[in-house]
Amino acid sequence: MNPSPKNFGAPFAWGAATSPYQIEGKEGRGPSVWDAFCEMPGKVFGGHNGAVACEHFSRWREDVGCFRAAGWNAYRFGISWSRVCPDGSPMPDQRGLDYYDRLVDALLEAGIEPWITVYHWDMPLEMHRRGGWLNRDCADWMAELASAVAGRLAGRVRKWFTMNEPQCFIGLGYYRGVHAPGVSLDLGSVLAAGHHALLGHGMTVSALRAADAQNQVGWAPSGVIAIPATTDPADVEAAREACFNMSGDNPLGRNEPNPLWANSWWSDPVFLGHYPEDALQRFGAAVPAIRTHDMETIRQPLDFNGAIIYTGSVVRAGHHGPEVVPLPDGFPVSSLGWPVFPESMYWGPKFLSERYPCPIVIAENGVALREWPDVQGGVADSARIDFLHRYLSEFAKWRAGGGDARGYFHWSAMDNFEWSEGYKDRFGLIHVDFQTQKRTLKQSAHWFAEVIRENGARFFRTP
């Protein structure tokens, strides 16, 4: 590693990310668990759903043109399981695969490397009816999906994420019930579903490697990021502890008696091959049944850890352990109310890579705003530029100190269906008019293109 880097180094993936349910629309696919969830009264803002979304299924050519114009060298997108397995049988439908085949070719032609996420939440409804993640077989179904997709795209796609944020599709979906499938189960069932998801991750890694030995595989979890209140070693230690401690004393987990946002419940099995001891103690009888070889299946060597970082909490050393520092009035927040903490892009990669030594790819980072096209037709999202500038500076600081950074994917490529928040908040670098489906590159997309052209050099210059 160059001790004084002048930019993000090569090869570095610069681009943006999407997921299928959020952009594709329902044309050509079977019903998914999210279609059913959106029909449940009161679950999604304004009764919105992903039936149309960005119509990316039919507009993908135009969209790839936008991505090229935005200067990305990489694009992260997910496979719609309900498109590849529309009736819920794990047998793939070739027409679903054809779609991704064409998309991948178009991206490669545009000089954009595809980074694929195998599972980003749109489980076929029929699989959910057969138990979904509560059914251990779901792990096999996911690995079959991975084999089919990786087999078809072998030699053209080399970068893979197994799954996106099990914290969300298990924690929000099966425990809080605010995401699909929208159920609130007891902790034991939730942890069992999570265990099956982790098995699905491990089996998918093997399937991807079996399809092509040159495949590079990672995953994309999210989790709490604690930022030390000061650089005093006691505060730094308190923040580190808050990121991983799963005992009931953790101030970041106290109100959530479940593994929802804990890094260690999910990442310890994946990288270290076991669940964290403090969590096993805390969850007691709710701990899932772990069969012989399960942990070996889950712990597969990974090529990168896809960190998902939006926000954080400031933590200090208190008299009785880590304490959260309250936010002052008027603290900057996104339109979803998420506090803006650029420092999370330094401390997050640092704490994660210290505990789980593995190169970091930022799989998602971005900000929700409610901007609109101005009278001249441009979209002046200066707050997003400022957000990006600040977060990327912190990421560069981490890399300059020796961090192994391999890529940055902005969330999101384009405005889209933001799950239970519907269409009211916009995350895209590309503005989508949901009435006309017109795409407009926002100012942030143009600014980001310059950053990419110089490989982020501006963040490494000393002022």
Query: Measured between alpha carbons, how far is 73 from 110 in angstroms, rounded to an integer?
Result: 9
Q: Is 344 in the site for ligand IFM (CB under 6 A)?
A: no
CB of 19 to ligand IFM, least distance (A): 5
Site residues for ligand IFM, 396-415, by CB under 6 A, read 411
Q: Give strand pairing partners of 170.
A: none
CB of 55 to ligand IFM, least distance (A): 18
Query: Measured between alpha carbons, how far is 157 from 212 in angstroms, rounded to an integer?
Result: 9
Q: Spell out a b/e string for 71-83, using b for 16 or more CB atoms within 10 Å of the CB, else e.
A: bbbbbbbbbbbbb
Which CB sits closer to ligand IFM, 19 or 455?
A: 19
Please give the radius of gyration of the chain, using alpha carbons only, rounded to the nearest integer. Answer: 21
Which CB sits closer to ligand IFM, 266 or 275?
A: 266
Instruction: Mention every residue, 6+ apart, whose C-beta is less than 8 A from residue 142.
Output: 118, 119, 163, 200, 203, 204
Which CB sits closer to ligand IFM, 63 or 165?
A: 165
Number of residues that bind ligand IFM (CB under 6 A): 8
CB of 332 to ligand IFM, least distance (A): 17
Specify whether 237 is catalytic: no
Which CB sits closer to ligand IFM, 54 or 279?
A: 54
Query: Measured between alpha carbons, how far is 444 from 19 in angstroms, rounded to an integer?
Result: 20
Site residues for ligand IFM, 159-178, by CB under 6 A, read 164-165
Which CB sits closer to ligand IFM, 427 or 460?
A: 427
Amino acid at 131: G
CB of 417 to ligand IFM, least distance (A): 8
Q: Residue written as tokens 């006691």? A: 234
Specify whether 364 is catalytic: yes
Q: How many CB atoms lie under 10 A from the CB of residue 303?
A: 17
**Which among 24, 144, 241, 364 is annotated as catalytic?**
364
Q: Is 122 in the site for ligand IFM (CB under 6 A)?
A: no
Q: How many CB atoms lie under 10 A from the CB of residue 40?
A: 13
Which CB sits closer to ligand IFM, 22 or 300?
A: 22
Instruction: Mention every residue, 6+ apart, whose C-beta is less than 8 A from residue 69.
Output: 441
**Which among 24, 144, 165, 418 is annotated as catalytic?**
165
Q: Is 364 in the site for ligand IFM (CB under 6 A)?
A: yes
Q: Retrieve residue 436's tokens.
A: 């006309």
Q: Which residue is nearest to ligand IFM (CB)?
A: 19
Interacting residue with ligand IFM among 7, 19, 82, 215 (CB under 6 A): 19
Length of the chain: 463
For residue 367, give Cα distances in angstroms to 310, 373, 432: 7, 17, 16
Give the active site residues: 165, 364
Query: Which residues lie near ligand IFM (CB under 6 A)?
Result: 19, 22, 164-165, 308, 364, 411, 418
